[in-house]
Amino acid sequence: MTTPKQTPDNFSQAYNTAMGQLMDAGVNTLKSSEMLNAISDTDVQIATTPSDVVFQIDKVTVSRYRPLAKPLKGAPPVLIAYGLFGRQTMIDLQQDRSLVRNLLEAGIDVHVLDWGNPTRADQFTTIEDMIDIYLRDCVEYLVDYNDGKPITMFGICEGGTLSTCLAALAPDLFKGLALAITPIDFKGDPENFWRGEGFLNQWLSNMSKEEIDNMIDVHGNMPGEMSGVMFSALTPMNSMTKYNLGLQRLQGDRDATLNFLRMEKWIADRPDHPGAAAKQWFNDFYRENKLVKGEFSVDGQAVNLSHIDCPVMNIYALQDHIVPISCTKPLSNYISPKKYTEIGFPGGHVGVFVSRKAQGVVAGGLIDWIKKTQV
């Protein structure tokens, strides 16, 4: 940076600039503090679209959202499944940023799977259990509800991987498979990761199976707080400055503050991940990349991704630091090109659902795909 020569005139100008900026920062901080004081927890509501529980197995439930528009003729019901490193409420964070509302307004019959709150009593639940018992039972319930006809599955993140496995094991249950930010090839392309991309892949590859098992055995499950710390570390300065600089930049704007707090509420609600399944997720999927090697099996049956024969739409985020593009795009290697569609969303992992832009690109793209391939 070039150094301006200090003269009385430019000294005074610089002083005024600095003081002006410091004053602005101070005023913004005060405004933000006042706004935070004026908002109570009850003002911060997420997942408000009305729904009713229609199916339950152990702690896992399926809820059906109440329709908001005339049904889209011929469209199968859609089951949305998130993973257990976050909560499915992200798809309905607020009214104007709700994938669920967008689908309902298009006349689609939307159901969502909730994994509940696993406790230490659920620590022996495996990935096989999650796929072949819980997810399968929920899908089969919905197939029955749809008069025995296959349904449309929308899997997100870990939920997308589990849905992909079930679609390969039981293709008859699915009319279509939509995925978002879903890891398939867990190694990806580490040589070409951009700065900050693929830390989870690197960190987990650096540990041995015994070390990962040991880390989880101590707690029984993978505690939600531990997942939270891990995710915070992926964006270090953003995590450290969001409650000071971040809030200051909101300038006390009520809508912006509420958006921020809704996101915080979602982040704070991170369930524990059943221990046995977490160990498999880290060891079999991340460390050993068994899914794309065809080495992962459920109840003795190998998961062969090329058995998926329904139309597939794969939505990924171009700036996703958690699930690198090179980890999700390889799904196209297993699906017939005529049946495979993808959308590269210009944003980050969570932005796929919560950003304003995503409502058009992602929700709109999904609805178009349903109309084109599922009806």
Partner 1 sequence: MADKNDGMDAMMQFWKQGQDSFFDAQREMAENFGRAFAPKPKDPISQGVENWQNFVRAWAPGWDPSAMMASSVQSNFDKQKDAYFALFDPSTWMTQAPEQLRSILESVANMPQLADLTYPQIGAADQWQEMIDFQEASSAFGKVMQEAWSRAYATYSKHFSVDDLKAGNVTEALNAWVKTANEELLDTQSSTEFMAAQRGLIQASSNLTKRQAKMAEAWGEKLQMPTRTEIDDLTETVHKLKRELRKLKKDLRAAQK
Q: Which residues bind partner 1 (CB under 8 A)?
A: 1, 3-4, 6, 11, 13-18, 21-22, 25, 120-121, 123-125, 129, 133, 195-196, 199, 202-203, 206-207, 211, 214-215, 217-220, 223, 225-226, 229, 232-233, 236-241, 245
φ, ψ of residue 269 to 5 degrees: the values are -95, 65
Minimum distance, C-beta of residue 279 to partner 1, in the bound complex (Å): 13
- Round to whole Å and give the CA distance between 157 and 343: 15
Catalytic residues, by residue number, are 157
Minimum distance, C-beta of residue 236 to partner 1, in the bound complex (Å): 4
- Round to whole Å and give the CA distance between 89 and 269: 9
Would you say 109 or 320 has its CB closer to partner 1? 320
Would you say 129 or 253 has its CB closer to partner 1? 129
Q: Which two tokens stand for residue 304?
A: 């062969």
Q: Give yes or no for a contact between 328 and 184, defined as CB atoms under 8 angstroms apart.
A: yes
CB-count burial class (<10 Å; 0-12, 13-18, 19+) for 235: middle
Minimum distance, C-beta of residue 321 to partner 1, in the bound complex (Å): 9
Would you say 114 or 128 has its CB closer to partner 1? 128
Would you say 121 or 302 has its CB closer to partner 1? 121
Minimum distance, C-beta of residue 231 to partner 1, in the bound complex (Å): 12
- Round to whole Å and give the CA distance between 63 and 131: 18
3-state secondary structure of 155: strand
Would you say 24 or 43 has its CB closer to partner 1? 24
Minimum distance, C-beta of residue 370 to partner 1, in the bound complex (Å): 31
Alpha carbon distances (Å) from 305 to 172, 184, 308: 14, 10, 6
Would you say 100 or 322 has its CB closer to partner 1? 322
What residue spans of the chain are helical by DSSP H? 8-38, 99-105, 127-128, 136-145, 158-169, 199-205, 209-217, 224-234, 236-241, 247-249, 254-268, 275-280, 290-293, 325-328, 351-354, 356-358, 364-373
Minimum distance, C-beta of residue 85 to partner 1, in the bound complex (Å): 16
- 3 state SS for 271-324: CCECHHHHHHHHHHHHHCCHHHHCCCEECCEECCHHHCCCCEEEEEECCCCCCC
Q: Give yes or no for a contact between 177 and 150, defined as CB atoms under 8 angstroms apart.
A: no
- Round to whole Å and give the CA distance between 312 and 177: 5
